[in-house]
Chain A
Amino acid sequence: MSLRQREEIAAYLLVAPWILGLLLFTAFPMAASLALSFSEWNFLGDIKFVGLDNYRAMFSRDRDFVVSLGNTAYYTFIGVPLHTAFALLLALPLSSKLKGIRYFRTAWYVPSVTPAVASAILWILIYHPDFGLANTLLGIVKIPPQGWIFDSTMAKPAFIIMSMWSVGGQMIIFLAGLQGVPQELYDAASIDGAGRLRQFRHVTLPLISPITFFNLVIGLIGSFQIFTAAYIMTNGGPANQTLFYVLHLYRNAFEYLKFGYASTLAWGLFVIILFFTGIQFLGAKRWVYYEVKVD
């Protein structure tokens, strides 16, 4: 047996678990889900093929589908740009070489490791209309108390504010990117008389644009799937204002036992995410800057 063949066999053995996993936990479920999306099934009885009925229902009969899609779009398209900007803003000072900087890195990252359930419960208390932290802070600056997640106009903004608290993951990715920007470029820019702001605009931003792009893409995909906080804190309320897409899907599958229709919703979400990710990739050509790779 040649060395080349031995290498290939070793490689296949090493990736075998992953290939199996792809087939078993991704490919097969996706195919099954696609098939189910054209059927009606309550888990116990027979699977009934219904053609495009589920897809038609999604757009015509299911009012909650439209509501949940609207809520999720609001949360995503307002929240994700804010997250990304905030994460970058936090990462900038963290990339400095100040003494003790690593304590700040830790402190600013910590909120994002807080378990989602614990943080949801904590934020119920923070948003408590009578004695919550949010209204306490407003009281100090003499702003009248708000209803936050219990108020139908404030609920979604309150969810966005809450999610701003845990942008640590994006922040760390920005930080890694910022540390990859060569110091010589800043030195050169500063010799040419560029101040801090212009250096940021013309050196930092273009050079980290692939990372900004990565964060926006991953942020959008994650944001479309918001579930835990809404399930625990508001269960979709008040007045369906926080009925997000995955919560609606979860109810159809595991509360109404409509596994066919739930699969249709799942594929709907997949297509929506693919669509917006595709748009981002198309738009990326205009603003994402890649260095020419010299290998």
Chain B
Amino acid sequence: MMPGRAAPATRTDAGTRDATRIYSSLTRMRSISSRVLAYAAMIAVSLVLILPLLWLFAASLKTPQLVGATPRGIDEFFAALVPTDPHFENYVEALTKRPFGLWARNTSIVVAAATVGTLLTGSMAAYAFARLRFRGKRILFTTTLSTLMLPFIVTMVPQFLMFSKVPGPSSAGNWTDTLWPLILPHWFGGGAFFIFLMRQFFMTIPVELDEAARMDGAGFFRCYWQITLPLSGPVLATVTIFSFISNWNEFLAPLIYLASRQNQTLALGLQSFRGEFSTDYHLLMAASATMTVPVLLVFFFMQRYFLKGFVMSGIAGR
């Protein structure tokens, strides 16, 4: 696409210059118009993908009558997306009908405790896999990766039985109907996916840094804690985001373990809310939106680390 190539060598200099100028301005126009086209297409795709969320927020601010109105034609459709008279009191009504505050507190405890556990114990294992030599490392790593293929459902029933038969802190004398079963498993390595992600990232950090520190008398734990971890911001951020989102959104485990209303998490509470207010769409949408917003905020504020941690880990296997 080099402009110079457009002019055959036999032409005069002036002719060459003219041809070059015309050709390059043509290419520029073509590249501008193709860029405009690209933006237009991408904006269109964005609108389609965001539409359901817009619908969610729009419905959460409407009166029940308006939610139930059927827009006909394209203008009424766009009007339906922008509530002219937003009813923010829907949120107050939805959130005070049920102990949403309590559910948010429970969810926050689970999310925070599980994420810290994953970051700590997961990065420990990842460091050993990335940096240290020990007998059985290969087989342990293969086992770790193969658990990625194991459906949660296979271990779910016996895990439930374990938490209900082993004596524990709950009122029934076991571990069910407490937040522990949702937190504890994350303090044991945090799962193969996170270990693998962090190991891949740790391996991109120059090993010479460790070696230099060891030369100065630092032990293996200092190298892990004071060299590797401080250099691993992007991947730790990625793990934090993933862990936050998956624990905030988790439904099946709370469904199995948490029985009494005051011990439930948002995901579970929202489901019971849906059972009771199944036709109050404006309230259901307000409650759903409330649960969605924190995840969106976390994602927006941390997303610039997110892709970086992902790409740099070479998770994509190249």
Question: Which chain A residues have a beta carbon within 8 Å of chain B's beta carbons?
Answer: 4, 6-8, 10-12, 14-15, 17-22, 24-26, 28-30, 32-33, 36, 43, 90, 93, 96, 98, 102, 104-111, 113-119, 121-123, 125-126, 128, 130-131, 133, 135-137, 139-140, 165, 172-173, 175-177, 179-180, 208, 210-211, 214, 217-218, 221, 224-225, 227-228, 231-232, 246, 249-250, 253-254, 259, 262-263, 266-267, 269-270, 273-274, 277, 291
Contacts and interface: CB of A to CB of B under 8 A. Distances in A.
A106 B135 CA distance: 43
Contacts of A136: 70-71, 77, 80
A256 to B, nearest CB: 13
Interface stretch (B13-21, B122-130, B167-175, B229-237): B122-130
B267 A115 contact: yes
20 contacts: A14-B124, A15-B124, A18-B124, A26-B150, A28-B162, A29-B154, A30-B150, A36-B158, A106-B303, A115-B248, A117-B288, A121-B285, A122-B52, A125-B284, A131-B69, A173-B315, A175-B307, A218-B148, A225-B151, A254-B256
A17 B316 CA distance: 27
| Majority secondary structure, A binding face | helix
Contacts of A176: 307, 310-311, 315-316
Contacts of A266: 151, 153-154, 156-157
Contacts of B70: 130-131, 135-136, 139
A65 to B, nearest CB: 14
A139 B72 contact: yes
The 3 closest A-B pairs by CB, nearest first: A21-B188, A18-B189, A10-B220
A107 B47 CA distance: 9
Given A14-B127, A29-B158, A227-B251, 17 more contacts: A6-B219, A11-B134, A14-B125, A21-B187, A36-B158, A110-B53, A110-B296, A115-B248, A117-B251, A119-B288, A175-B307, A176-B315, A211-B318, A217-B149, A221-B149, A269-B151, A270-B150
Contacts of A269: 151, 153-154
A134 B293 CA distance: 23
Contacts of A208: 316
A93 B224 CA distance: 39
Contacts of B144: 18, 22
A118 B291 contact: yes
Contacts, number: 288
Contacts of B71: 131, 136, 139
A180 B318 contact: yes
A29 B162 contact: yes
Contact of B155 (A30, A107, A137): A30
A267 B156 CA distance: 11
B157 A262 contact: yes
A173 B249 contact: no
Contact of A228 (B51, B53, B195, B252): B252
Interface in B151-204: 151-162, 185, 187-189, 195
A107 B44 CA distance: 12
Given A110-B53, A177-B318, A98 B35 contact: yes
Contacts of B274: 117, 121, 232
B178 to A, nearest CB: 17
Interface string B285-296: 101110110011
A168 B77 CA distance: 26
B316 A177 contact: yes
Contacts of B316: 173, 176-177, 180, 208, 210-211, 214
B147 A110 contact: no
